């Protein structure tokens, strides 16, 4: 065990297995990223959008043998698997909710690679009968058989609270769509197309909402983007965000939020570009609490 690391049982996230000989093309035709060229030992972010380019799910996707595993927020999984199933038609694809069969574990810390393996970011390796996915320099996802969860836990550092993992997501600037934020954002609003997230390919063919997403990219018409903020009171994902410039008309929403160990909260929020001056971002109402803007670990493109 390494005391500088911690692990968290990701009980608020679920897993879909997509199998069958047409799976890669099926997912490629529906999602924002290139799935046809997803290498066997690689992982990738992708989104499912409406015809208007609004995100209804964000995924972390990797391969296990011939199958593809899609990790997403558990509260939207039943609806998303039903939505994806509508497109199967005659394709040789089977979609299965395997959340009960696999335990998802987040491992974080500067020495996490010493416990899991020194992989490149967004790459995978077999782990305890499942898969380990390295997200970045300090975060891993483990998807292991549920029956072996206790054995895996015994190999890891101290267990942390789920909120601590959410804080890691926020500090890395990684958005995740939950039920309260479905259809709230096009990918660019949550920085999903930045190199750091890499959730959109502009070289692939059509998918639902592709015309809107591409037009937004090439015409540079994104007026809102995602920033990291600190605030005193708790606000749930989906809470409206306001700035004085737009008055009573909200100009964004909270994406993710988590408490800070020292007090207060941090959140990822979508806000209008012109409203990101100090003291101008308010949560819940125009007269609501002011959010202090913090830095993200990447540039907003």
At 274 the pLDDT is: 74
CA distances for 135 relative to 7, 9, 220, angstroms: 14, 16, 28
Has residue 2 got a pLDDT over 70? Answer: no
Mean pLDDT calculated for residue range 174-189? 97
Q: In the structure, what pLDDT confidence band is assigned to residue 275 with cuts at 50, 70 and 90?
A: low
Domains of the chain: 6-161 (3.30.1360.120), 179-294 (2.40.30.160)
Q: In the structure, what pLDDT confidence band is assigned to residue 1 with cuts at 50, 70 and 90?
A: very low
At 3 the pLDDT is: 56
User: In what side-by-side order are the strands of the sheet with 282-283?
Assistant: 282-283, 240-242, 252-259, 265-272, 224-231, 292-294
Q: What is the pLDDT of residues 209-267, one digit of tens each?
A: 999 999 988 887 788 999 999 999 999 999 999 998 888 899 999 999 999 999 999 99
Asked whether 76 and 16 are in contact (CB, 8 A), the reply is: no
Per-residue 3-state assignment (H helix, E strand, C coil) for the chain: CCCCCEEEECCCEEEEEEECCCHHHHHHHHECCCCCCCCCCEEEEEEEECCCCCEEEEEEEEEECCEEEEEEEHHHHHHHHHHHHCCCCCCCCEEEECCCCEEEEEEECCCHHHHHCCCCCCEEEEECCEEEEECCCCEEEEEEEHHHHHHHHHHCCCECCHHHHHHHHHHCCCCCCCHHHCCCCCHHHHCCCCCCCCCCCCCCCCCCCHHHHHHHHHHCCCCEEEEEEEECCCCCCCCEEECHHHCCCCCEEEEEEEECCCCCEEEEEEEEHHHCCCCCCEECCCCCCECEEECCCCCCC
Has residue 289 got a pLDDT over 50? Answer: yes
| Region at 50 (left for phi over 0; alpha for psi -120 to 50; beta for the rest) | beta
The residue ranking higher by pLDDT, 273 or 213, is 213
At 247 the pLDDT is: 85
Q: In the structure, what pLDDT confidence band is assigned to residue 42 with cuts at 50, 70 and 90?
A: very high
pTM: 0.95
Q: What is the pLDDT of residues 50-106, one digit of tens each?
A: 999 999 999 999 999 999 999 999 999 999 999 999 999 999 999 999 999 999 999
At 222 the pLDDT is: 81
At 154 the pLDDT is: 95
Q: What is the pLDDT of residues 108-135, one digit of tens each?
A: 999 999 999 999 999 999 999 999 999 9
């Amino acid at each position: 065990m390494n005391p500088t690391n911690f692990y968290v049982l990701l009980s608020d996230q679920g897993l879909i297995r997509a199998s069958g000989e047409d799976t890669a093309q099926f997912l490629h035709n529906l999602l924002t990223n290139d799935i046809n060229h997803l290498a066997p030992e690689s992982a990738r972010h992708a989104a499912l959008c409406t015809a208007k380019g609004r995100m209804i799910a964000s995924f972390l996707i990797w391969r296990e043998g011939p199958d593809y595993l899609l990790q997403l927020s558990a509260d939207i999984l039943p609806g998303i698997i039903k939505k994806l199933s509508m497109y199967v038609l005659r394709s040789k694809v089977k979609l299965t909710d395997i959340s009960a069969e696999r335990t998802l574990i987040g491992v974080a810390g500067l020495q996490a690679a010493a416990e899991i393996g020194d992989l490149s970011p967004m790459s995978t390796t077999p782990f305890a009968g499942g898969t380990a996915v390295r997200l970045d320099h300090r975060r891993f996802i483990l998807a292991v058989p549920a029956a072996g969860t206790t054995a895996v836990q015994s190999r890891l550092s101290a267990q942390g609270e789920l909120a601590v993992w959410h804080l890691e997501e926020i500090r890395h600037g990684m958005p995740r769509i939950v039920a309260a934020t479905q259809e709230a954002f096009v990918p660019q609003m949550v920085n999903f197309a930045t190199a750091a997230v890499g959730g959109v390919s502009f070289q692939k063919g059509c998918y639902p909402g592709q015309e809107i997403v591409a037009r937004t990219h090439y015409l540079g018409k994104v007026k809102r983007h995602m920033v990291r903020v600190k605030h005193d009171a708790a606000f749930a994902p989906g809470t409206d965000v306001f700035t004085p410039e737009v008055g009573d008309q909200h100009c964004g929403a909270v994406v993710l939020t988590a408490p800070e160990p020292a007090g207060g909260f941090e959140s990822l929020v979508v806000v209008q570009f012109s409203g990101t001056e100090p003291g101008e971002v308010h949560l819940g109402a125009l007269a609501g609490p002011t959010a202090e803007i913090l830095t993200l670990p990447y540039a907003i493109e």
